[in-house]
Amino acid sequence: MTTISQLELYHMPIASSELGNDPLPFFAKARESHDWLAASDIGYVVTGYKAIDDIMRLDDKLTMPGEEIVDIMGARGTGWGDFAIDQMLVSSGERHKRLRGASASAFMPGNVKRLRPLMQETVQQILDEWAPKGAFDFTEFASQFPVRVMFALLGTSTERLPEIMKYLEIHGESFNLEVEKMDLIERGYQTLWAFVDDLIVERVAQGEKGDLLDTMIAARSSGQITDKELHQLLILMFAAGYDTTKNLLILLMRSLLDEPEVYRRCGEDFDYAKKAVKEQLRFATPSNTMRMVKEQFEYRGVTIPAGTMLVFPLTISGRDPAMFSDPDTFNPERPEKHATQAFGRGMHICLGQFLAVANVEEGVHLIAQRIANPRLAGPVAWKPFPGVWGITSLPIEFDPVAAEAMA
C-alpha cells in the first residue's frame, strides 16, 4: 500500500486561466503519470471517471469543507459564514436527511414534468424580447432563463430579478476564496436573506398555492426544519440552480455552434434535443466539487489519510478515454450508457437535476427554432475551473425567426 503523498503525480495548475480555458490537455498529461490521480495547489485531483464514481459514494469517510473555508475568509459569526457551515451540502447523517426531506418531493420527475409548460412560456417570452436582435452575448441571454423559471416556481414576481441575479452571481463566487470580497459577499448574502424572508412572509399572508414554497413552509410548521434552515435552504436552491443551469445551457450552445446539423435537429425534434442535452451532460458541464477526507481509506492500493483534500472534476469526467470511445466527439447518438457525473454521486447528489435537465431541454428546443444558423461572433471567455466552471462570454450572431413563423 502506498500513501497518496508518496506518489509521483503530475502537478496540475488547476486555478490557472490556461486550464480554465481548456482543461483537457492538462488531464491528458496527468494520465501519463497516473491513471486516476493528479496533484494541485488545492488538493489531489481524482481524474478518472471510475475512481470518482467509487470515491464520491464513500459518504461516511468524506465531508464537504465548510469551517475551513469560513476560517480562510475570516467570516466566523457572519450570515454567510453561518450558511457556509450549516447548509445542506455540508451537513451529513440524520440532519442531512431531515433537510433534504423538507423539499425533495417537489423536485421529483413527476412534479418537474408539470412545470414544462411554465418553462416553455418563460423561454418564449425571453426569445420574443431577444431573438429580433440578430446578435448578442449568449451568456446574457441564458442568465435570464432558469432563474425566471425558479422565480415562477416559487410564485414570485420578477420585479426584483436584476438585483437578485447580481447577488446570486456574487454568492456563486463566494467559495472561490477571495478574502477581499468578503464585505460584498456578506452584503449579498443579507440581501438574499431579506428576499427569501419576504417570499415566506408574503406566502403565509396570501395562503397556499400548492407549490415548492408551500412544501417547505409546511416543513417549518411541522417542526421538521427551523426558520433559519428554511431561509438557508431557499438561498441554497436559488444559488445552486442559478449559475449551474445557465452555464449548462451556455456550454451546450458552445458545443452546438460546432455542430450546425445537430443544432437544427434540436429545433425540429424534441426527442433528439433531449439526446443532445444528455450528450452535453457527458461532454462538458458546470459543477466541480471537493471533499475533505475525515476518515482514512484505501482505494486501488493507495492510502488516503484523514485531512486530505480531494477535488472531483465532474465537469469533464465524461471525457475519460478509459470509459468513453472517441470522447472528444459530440455525438447525441453515442452507444455508451455510463451515467453522467454532472450532478455528483452519493448522498448529496443534486436535488434539482430533473428540473435543470428539463429547463435545458425545453430551452434548446425553442432556442433552435427562433435563433437560426448561430455563428460565433467573437472570442469565448471561460471561468476558472474549480467550483462552478463555464463560459463568461459567448458572442453570437444569427438569423432571427419570428414566433409566428414557427412550425
User: Which residue reads 451556455 in cell numbers?
Assistant: 250
In the list 45, 84, 185, 240, the residue contacting ligand HEM (rule: CB under 6 A) is 240
Q: Which of 201-209, 265-273, 286-294, 369-377 is the region at the interface with ligand HEM (rule: CB under 6 A)? A: 286-294
Nearest CB to ligand HEM, comparing residues 72 and 135 = 72
In the list 65, 155, 344, 384, the residue contacting ligand HEM (rule: CB under 6 A) is 344
Which residues lie below 8 Å from residue 155, measured CB to CB, with a gap of 6+?
203, 209, 211, 213
262 belongs to the binding site for ligand HEM (CB under 6 A): no
Q: Which of 4-12, 35-43, 219-227, 337-345 is the region at the interface with ligand HEM (rule: CB under 6 A)? A: 337-345
Rounded to a whole number of angstroms, the minimum distance from the CB of residue 161 to ligand HEM is 16
In the list 39, 342, 367, 396, the residue contacting ligand HEM (rule: CB under 6 A) is 342
The DSSP output letter for 338 is: P
The grid coordinates listed for 215 are 412544501
Strands 309-312 and 44-46: parallel
Nearest CB to ligand HEM, comparing residues 263 and 343 = 343
In the list 37, 38, 216, 236, the residue contacting ligand HEM (rule: CB under 6 A) is 236
DSSP 361-379: HHHHHHHHHHEEEEEE-S-
Burial of 342-368, coded b for 16+ CB within 10 Å and e otherwise, reads bbbbebbebbbbbbbbbbbbbbbbbbb
In the list 131, 196, 252, 355, the residue contacting ligand HEM (rule: CB under 6 A) is 355
Phi and psi, residue 45, nearest 5° = -95, 125
Distance CA 126, CA 367 (A): 10
Total chain residues near ligand HEM (CB under 6 A): 25
In the list 52, 62, 64, 142, the residue contacting ligand HEM (rule: CB under 6 A) is 64
352 belongs to the binding site for ligand HEM (CB under 6 A): yes
Give the per-residue SS3 of 383-398. Answer: CCCCCECCEEECEEEE
The DSSP output letter for 388 is: B
In the list 203, 274, 275, 348, the residue contacting ligand HEM (rule: CB under 6 A) is 348
Question: Which candidate, 148, 169, 141, places its Cα nearest to that of 396?
Answer: 141
**CA distances from residue 124 to 26, 255, 263, 309, 368 in whole angstroms, order as listed:** 40, 22, 18, 44, 12
Give the per-residue SS3 of 193-247. Answer: HHHHHHHHHHHHHHCCCCCHHHHHHHHHHCCCCCHHHHHHHHHHHHHHHHHHHHH
Nearest CB to ligand HEM, comparing residues 273 and 350 = 350
- What is the per-residue binding string for ligand HEM in 287-316, x denoting contact by CB under 6 A? x-x------------------------x--
In the list 48, 286, 374, 390, the residue contacting ligand HEM (rule: CB under 6 A) is 286
For residue 90, the one-letter residue type is V
The grid coordinates listed for 346 are 452519493
The residue at minimum Cβ distance from ligand HEM is 352
Interaction with ligand HEM in 90-109: which residues (CB under 6 A)?
100
Nearest CB to ligand HEM, comparing residues 128 and 295 = 295
Rounded to a whole number of angstroms, the minimum distance from the CB of residue 2 to ligand HEM is 27
Q: Which of 119-127, 239-247, 331-339, 373-381 is the region at the interface with ligand HEM (rule: CB under 6 A)? A: 239-247
Nearest CB to ligand HEM, comparing residues 99 and 371 = 99
The DSSP output letter for 294 is: S
> Footprint of ligand HEM on this chain (CB under 6 A)?
64, 88-89, 100, 236-237, 240-241, 244-245, 248, 285-287, 289, 314, 342-344, 348, 350-352, 355-356
